[in-house]
């Protein structure tokens, strides 16, 4: 789903081999300006570090919940996208700079990289792989919102049926669907590429009814639908938190626990005296809730994390929405908008991945405590080594007569 293929902007004709009558053109990659590429490189290093740290904390046995499993899956897909998406840009800028052509009409600056077939066969699967993990990130954000809406609307059913295993089983169909669709898409797209004269990478120009055009349109429609559901879910979660206030209702249900009748403080009836205990109506018994401040705070904190992640997701995908609309045919194609999206789309994704860590850090006391403990131990270890080095240097420099 990357918009780094700029052959529509620079229609350089490709010499087709083997007597093909195709309308073909050389595949090109738009490489953003140097300052954008450098920022991408820094975020490519930063995103995996912080997200792997998040995964290591959330997947500890004592921290595993349906929400943390989804958040860990989101962190994994985020850092894989952050690694794979900028690779074509970094390779072109670092190792093939002499082949780049300055994009003079680009607003933010950049270069056009006419690819050879030997590089095209490697970079195209990388772009497709980053598209796979980006689609998974969208799906996991969608699942987070749906899971939180269900938990707030049907807390009893959620506690009974939505556990860690159910969450993993729900993740599997999305992962398999994304992998299957993009595998088919990769196979079909390979049919449009071939080696032209002088080893250049040629591609058959897409027709409106081509499989590639249809798959790109389908992905764009899925992204728009997912975004709409996320927006509606976020609005609902905000409304639910506002209307319930601090009294979030939690069902008084515990597995393998005995039901004890509701007995008043001044009642002479003992809990075991079933015959003397008035029966509580089902409707009233089902409405009884535990007002546990710690449990309420945990649920509210989890809901706020989902809200912030949804807002960050929507903002980070703005250039993806613009790129999708630009190539969809709903409006006249704009070369300027295409290059603007090519320059900033992946960068906006990476910023979103980085901001997610800040959200986790602000909302998760366990994460803050773990970081504090880790850096505290690291600082004490370095200080101890420094003191030992100073002591050993002092012993070495002291004359033996002085010691005697």
Does the pLDDT at position 140 exceed 90? Answer: yes
In a domain? residue 400: no
Structure confidence at residue 3 (pLDDT): 42
Distance CA 247, CA 289 (A): 10
In a domain? residue 399: no
Phi-psi region of 227 (alpha: psi -120 to 50; beta: other; left: phi over 0): alpha
Structure confidence at residue 401 (pLDDT): 45
In a domain? residue 267: no
- At 333, the pLDDT band (50, 70, 90 cuts) reads confident
Angle at 286 between CA 281 and CA 287, to 5 degrees: 100
Both tokens assigned to 380 = 């004490």
Strand partners, 30: 112
Q: What SS3 class is residue 106?
A: coil
Q: Kindly report which listed range (2-6, 15-19, 47-51, 241-245) carries the lowest average pLDDT score.
A: 2-6
Q: For residues 32 and 242, which has the higher predicted lDDT (pLDDT)? A: 32
User: Which segment, 57-66, 131-140, 198-207, 215-224, is predicted with the most confidence on average?
Assistant: 131-140
Does the pLDDT at position 41 exceed 80? Answer: yes
Structure confidence at residue 178 (pLDDT): 92
Nearest by Cα to 149 from 292, 297, 299: 299
Maximum CA extent, the chain: 99
DSSP labels for 235-289?
A: HHHHHHHHHHTT---EE---TT--------TT----TT--TTSPPPPHHHHHH-E
Q: What SS3 class is residue 176?
A: helix
User: Which segment, 83-97, 222-236, 354-368, is predicted with the most confidence on average?
Assistant: 222-236
Structure confidence at residue 234 (pLDDT): 93
Nearest by Cα to 200 from 19, 17, 31: 17
Q: What SS3 class is residue 32?
A: strand
Phi-psi region of 19 (alpha: psi -120 to 50; beta: other; left: phi over 0): left
Structure confidence at residue 208 (pLDDT): 55
Q: For residues 336 and 251, which has the higher predicted lDDT (pLDDT)? A: 336
Does the pLDDT at position 45 exceed 80? Answer: yes
Q: Are 65 and 164 in contact (CB under 8 A)?
A: yes
Distance CA 218, CA 178 (A): 12
Does the pLDDT at position 128 exceed 60? Answer: yes
Nearest by Cα to 78 from 272, 268, 351: 351
Q: At what angle do helices 365-397 and 335-363 cross, to 10 degrees?
A: 80
Both tokens assigned to 48 = 């995996």
The tally of domains found in the chain comes to 1
Percent of the chain scoring above 70 in pLDDT? 70
Q: Are 49 and 67 in contact (CB under 8 A)?
A: no
- C-alpha separations of 207 from 9, 23, 114, 204, 211 in Å: 16, 10, 22, 9, 9
Percent of the chain scoring above 90 in pLDDT? 19
Q: For residues 73 and 210, which has the higher predicted lDDT (pLDDT)? A: 73
Distance CA 261, CA 39 (A): 63
- C-alpha separations of 201 from 5, 107, 351, 374 in Å: 12, 27, 32, 49
Nearest by Cα to 192 from 162, 169, 212, 221: 212
The set of residues, in sequence order, having a beta carbon less than 8 Å from that of 131 and lying 6+ positions away, is 1, 2, 182, 219
Print the domain residue range for 194: 24-254+283-363
Does the pLDDT at position 315 exceed 60? Answer: yes
Q: What SS3 class is residue 268?
A: coil
In a domain? residue 262: no
Both tokens assigned to 404 = 């005697």
In a domain? residue 173: yes
Instruction: Indicate the average pLDDT of the chain.
Output: 76
Rg (CA), the chain: 29
User: How many Cβ atoms sit within 10 Å of the Cβ of residue 147?
Assistant: 22
Compute CA 17 distance to the chain's CA centroid, rounded to the nearest angstrom: 42
Helix/strand/coil percent split, the chain, to 5: 70, 5, 25
In a domain? residue 392: no
**What is the DSSP-derived secondary structure letter of residue 280?**
P
User: Which segment, 74-78, 199-203, 217-221, 283-287, is predicted with the most confidence on average?
Assistant: 74-78
Residue-wise pLDDT for 169-215, tens only, equals 999 999 999 999 988 888 888 877 777 777 788 877 665 556 677 78
In a domain? residue 177: yes
Structure confidence at residue 402 (pLDDT): 43
Structure confidence at residue 236 (pLDDT): 92
In a domain? residue 271: no
Does the pLDDT at position 146 exceed 90? Answer: yes
Over residues 278-286, mean pLDDT = 47
Q: For residues 25 and 374, which has the higher predicted lDDT (pLDDT)? A: 25
Side-chain half-sphere of 166: how many Cα atoms within 13 Å? 12
CATH assignment of the domain containing 210: 1.20.1070.10
């Amino acid at each position: 789903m990357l918009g780094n293929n700029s052959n529509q902007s620079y229609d350089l004709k490709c010499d087709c081999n083997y007597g093909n009558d195709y309308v073909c053109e050389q595949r090109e990659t738009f490489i953003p300006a140097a300052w954008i590429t450098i920022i991408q490189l820094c975020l490519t290093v930063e995103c995996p570090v912080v997200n792997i740290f998040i995964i290591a904390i959330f997947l500890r046995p004592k921290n595993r919940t349906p929400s943390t499993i989804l958040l860990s899956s989101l962190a994994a897909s985020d850092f894989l996208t952050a690694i794979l998406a900028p690779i074509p840009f970094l390779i072109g800028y670092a190792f093939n700079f002499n082949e780049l052509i300055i994009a003079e009409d680009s607003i933010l600056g950049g270069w056009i990289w006419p690819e050879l077939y030997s590089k095209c066969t490697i970079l195209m699967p990388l772009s497709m792989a980053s598209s796979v993990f980006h689609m998974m990130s969208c799906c996991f954000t969608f699942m987070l919102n749906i899971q939180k809406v269900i938990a707030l609307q049907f807390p009893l059913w959620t506690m009974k049926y939505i556990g860690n295993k159910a969450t993993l089983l729900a993740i599997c169909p999305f992962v398999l669907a994304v992998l299957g669709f993009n595998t088919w898409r990769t196979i079909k797209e390979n049919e449009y590429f071939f080696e032209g004269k002088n080893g250049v990478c040629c591609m058959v120009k897409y027709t409106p009814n081509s499989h590639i055009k249809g798959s790109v349109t389908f992905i764009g429609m899925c992204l728009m639908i997912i975004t709409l559901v996320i927006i509606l879910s976020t609005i609902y979660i905000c409304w639910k938190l506002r209307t319930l206030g601090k009294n979030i209702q939690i069902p008084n249900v515990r597995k393998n626990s005995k039901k004890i009748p509701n007995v008043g403080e001044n009642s002479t009836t003992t809990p075991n005296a079933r015959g003397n205990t008035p029966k509580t109506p089902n409707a009233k018994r089902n409405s009884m809730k535990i007002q546990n401040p710690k449990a309420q705070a945990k649920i509210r904190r989890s809901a706020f994390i989902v809200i912030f992640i949804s807002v960050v997701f929507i903002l980070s995908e703005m250039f993806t929405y613009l790129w999708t609309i630009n190539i969809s045919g709903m409006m006249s194609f704009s070369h300027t908008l295409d290059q603007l999206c090519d320059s900033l789309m992946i960068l906006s994704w990476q910023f979103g991945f980085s901001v997610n860590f800040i959200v986790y850090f602000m909302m998760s006391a366990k994460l803050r405590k773990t970081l504090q403990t880790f850096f505290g131990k690291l600082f004490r270890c370095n200080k101890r080594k420094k003191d030992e080095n100073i002591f050993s240097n002092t012993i070495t420099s002291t004359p033996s007569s002085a010691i005697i």
